[in-house]
Amino acid sequence: MSAWSEVDREVATGPAVVAAATPARPLAAPTAPSYPQGSGNPRGPAALLRQLGLHPRKRLSQSFLVDRRIAATIAAAAGLTHDDTVLEIGPGLGLLTAELVRRAGRVVAVELDEQLAAALPALLDHPPNLTVIQGDALAIDPATLVPAGYKVVANLPYHITSPLLRHLLETPHRPRRLVVMVQREVAERIVAAPGQLSYLAVLVQLYAEPRLVRVVPPGAFYPRPRVESAVLVLEVYPAPRVARAAPAAFLRVVQAGFKQPRKQLRNSLAEGLGCPPAEADALLRRAGLDPACRPQTLTLPEWEQLYQVVQSS
């Protein structure tokens, strides 16, 4: 991870399985990378990366979790049992992965970095319930990797947080729970109430109930990011909260409404829909909404009212 940015993500040419096996039960005690509190341990993350001939790649937002207590907190929040299949995004050096393979029946870890993907099974002493996929999580259909009812656990690269959450929540093959590490500011935006909603918050809350578990300091990572992180749990609904028949069309209307979020809704919506402000004003009044309000004040049911009016106009 790195500070929040919109840098271009690196796209892999295609996924490739580099290690795969799926037993009925996980290993009792897989070996985890030995990350030290100090700098003298030769198995620390910097030394381990040197041993592998690697270094953190800013373009991939690589910042590796090194605090086992945080890894345990994340795994515990997922509520894993031996019947669970976990999809992990960005396993890195495997500190969190080691916790997951202890607790879950099967772990499928998707890693974009080819060298890390190739090294991960050996770093954990080849746990038989771990499958490592080298590829771009944004380009992979979860239905090709994991069965229904799976869970997602991930220390997300900051620069793909929004598109990856959308990718996982909009697929018909949605997980039933996500536990993700994201930038603290983004986590607080996602759990916001009406009055402070963003497009990202509406998108996530359409599909899931978000809950912030804990804040994570920069010192829990190597290299240290410049911002705090947070562990976020998303309990995914069986169906979208509103506009169940056409959630993608609903979100297009919401996105249009947030085109200029600092403006009054009539002006923001007009720009988003490409129509005159007077027409947007009329649509909002037909939906029973104040054209002078701001987009962040609307609730999901109010966005649905507006969506229905826009669809019928």
| E-assigned strand segments in the chain | 16-19, 64-65, 85-89, 106-111, 130-134, 151-155, 177-183, 208-216, 221-222, 229-236
**In the prediction, which pLDDT does 94 show?**
94
pLDDT at 47 over 80: no
**In the prediction, which pLDDT does 308 show?**
98
In a domain, 175, yes or no: yes
**If DSSP codes are grouped into helix, strand and coil, which group holds residue 214?**
strand
By residue range, what is the domain housing residue 276?
247-312
Same domain assignment for residues 286 and 177: no
- Residue range 90-132, pLDDT digits in tens: 999 999 999 999 999 999 999 999 999 999 999 999 999 999 9
Same domain assignment for residues 36 and 115: yes
Same domain assignment for residues 112 and 177: yes
Mean pLDDT on 260-270: 96
pLDDT at 54 over 80: no
Query: Exposed, middle or buried by CB within 10 Å (0-12, 13-18, 19+), for 35?
Result: buried
Same domain assignment for residues 227 and 280: no
Same domain assignment for residues 33 and 114: yes
In a domain, 2, yes or no: no
pLDDT at 25 over 70: no
Last residue of a domain, one of 172, 203, 236: 236
Is residue 284 within 8 Å of residue 262, measured between CB atoms? Answer: no
Same domain assignment for residues 37 and 153: yes
Please tell me the distance from the alpha carbon of residue 218 to that of residue 225, in angstroms, as a whole number.
6
**In the prediction, which pLDDT does 239 show?**
97
Q: Residue 297: what residue type?
A: T
CA angle 295–298–299, rounded 5-degree value: 145
Query: Exposed, middle or buried by CB within 10 Å (0-12, 13-18, 19+), for 58?
Result: middle
Per the confidence metrics, is the pTM higher than 0.75? yes
Q: Which residues contact 221 (CB under 8 A, 6 or more apart)?
A: 1, 63, 64, 65, 66, 67, 229
Paired residues of 178 in beta bridges = 152, 234
**In the prediction, which pLDDT does 31 show?**
53
Is residue 73 within 8 Å of residue 220, measured between CB atoms? Answer: no
Conformation bin of residue 61: beta by default, left when phi > 0, alpha when psi is -120 to 50? left
DSSP character at residue 12: P
